[in-house]
Amino acid sequence: MFDKLEDILLRYQEIEQEMLNPDIVNDQVRYTKLRKEQADLYDIVEKYKEYKETQQTIEDSLTILEEETDEELCEMAKEELSLSKQRIVKIEEELKILLLPKDPNDEKNVIVEIRAGAGGDEAALFAAELYRMYCQYADSNRWKTDMMSLNENGIGGFKEVVFMINGKGAYSKLKYESGVHRVQRVPVTESGGRIHTSTATVAIMPEAEDVDVELDLADCKFDVFRSSGNGGQSVNTTDSAVRLTHIPTGIVITCQDEKSQLKNKDKAIKVLRSRLYDLELQKAQDAEAQARKSQIGTGDRSEKIRTYNFPQGRVTDHRIKLTLHQIDAIMNGDLDEIIDSLIAADQTAKLSKMQED
């Protein structure tokens, strides 16, 4: 590990020297590439410098204890030695995590698809609440949301909603949310007071760029129609809504949120590109079954990942057996404790697998 850290430190210093070269400064493409590489290495380099400084403090304290006779000075050295030894263990663990292979999609925006599952109108109402939960979580991170497609059920529920969350690192946090979310509560439509169980499926996909997936528009069929709201009432009087069918896969995407046909078409293409990219990611994960075992919640979309139990006021994430009795806060977008716990569990699993390898 330390040989690798020395190589990273050396490369970081080389980049610093290169960026002082006037020829590099005038070459914007090269300069931008170096700045990105420097930014990627910065956290590791700073943590490694902290490690080396702490190691030097340990050595200095040991030298004082060996050579000095002054009791007060030796007592201070003992205390410094004890604190530094504790600190260096923590720094080593942090360095191991920083050296874990990074997911190339972590910094990307995400496209979120939420679909009502079992439970009829109650499932659609729950899907709408999940949408609001993720929008509020996005707001708390100062990320922007952009509606792509919405299919309502007429009583405030969502049969399906597709939206984008734009923000640095959105995928790194939200990628653990893919799967089946289950709700247990007395529905507003239930007069007998019985608790029902309903589900909604969440899919988190990194926004795909042109270089991520090849998309031949000749494989796409576009239909335009008049967008409509609940009960078929016309929203506008032009054929602005777009239905995109990807012939090779059979994927169908409908976008009608914008009044412009061109904007709806662009959104549909963006969703399709991300779906195709997500299919490729799923295939890669299927091909690496052992690697998938070391990851938390980036696998099977049919996996039941979380239960929201309203009568007991609890939310349970089944993958890491975490239960929190703060359902109101969570439904209002306070997802930090759940997501931080999932990230920590994922890192622990990957560290364990790396040590085995």
> What is the tens place of the pLDDT at every residue in 224-273?
887 765 444 444 556 788 889 999 999 998 888 788 888 889 899 989 98
* Helices H / strands E in the chain, number of each: 10, 11
Residues spanned by the domain of 56: 2-98
Higher pLDDT, residue 48 or 357: 48
357 part of a folded domain: no
Cα dihedral 170, 172, 173, 174 in deg (nearest 10): 70
| Local structure of 143: helix, strand or coil | coil
Q: Which of 51-55, 116-120, 280-284, 313-317 has the lowest mean pLDDT?
A: 280-284
| Strand order across the 220-225 sheet | 220-225, 241-246, 251-255
For residues 17 and 220, what is the distance between their CA atoms, to the nearest angstrom?
A: 49
State the pLDDT at residue 285: 67
pLDDT digits (tens, 9 = 90+) for 315-336: 999 999 999 999 999 999 999 9
pTM of structure:
0.72
SS3 content of the chain, % helix, strand, coil (to 5): 50, 20, 30
Q: What average pLDDT is seen over the chain?
A: 86
| Local structure of 304: helix, strand or coil | strand
Question: 171 and 80 share a domain?
Answer: no
Of the three residues 43, 67, 98, the one that is the final residue of a domain is 98
Of the three residues 48, 71, 98, the one that is the final residue of a domain is 98
Task: Give the relative orientation of helices 71-98 and 28-67 as an angle to the nearest 10 degrees.
Answer: 150
Write the CATH number for 269: 3.30.70.1660
| Local structure of 203: helix, strand or coil | strand
Of the three residues 42, 73, 98, the one that is the final residue of a domain is 98
For residues 113 and 105, what is the distance between their CA atoms, to the nearest angstrom?
A: 17
Question: 258 and 314 share a domain?
Answer: yes
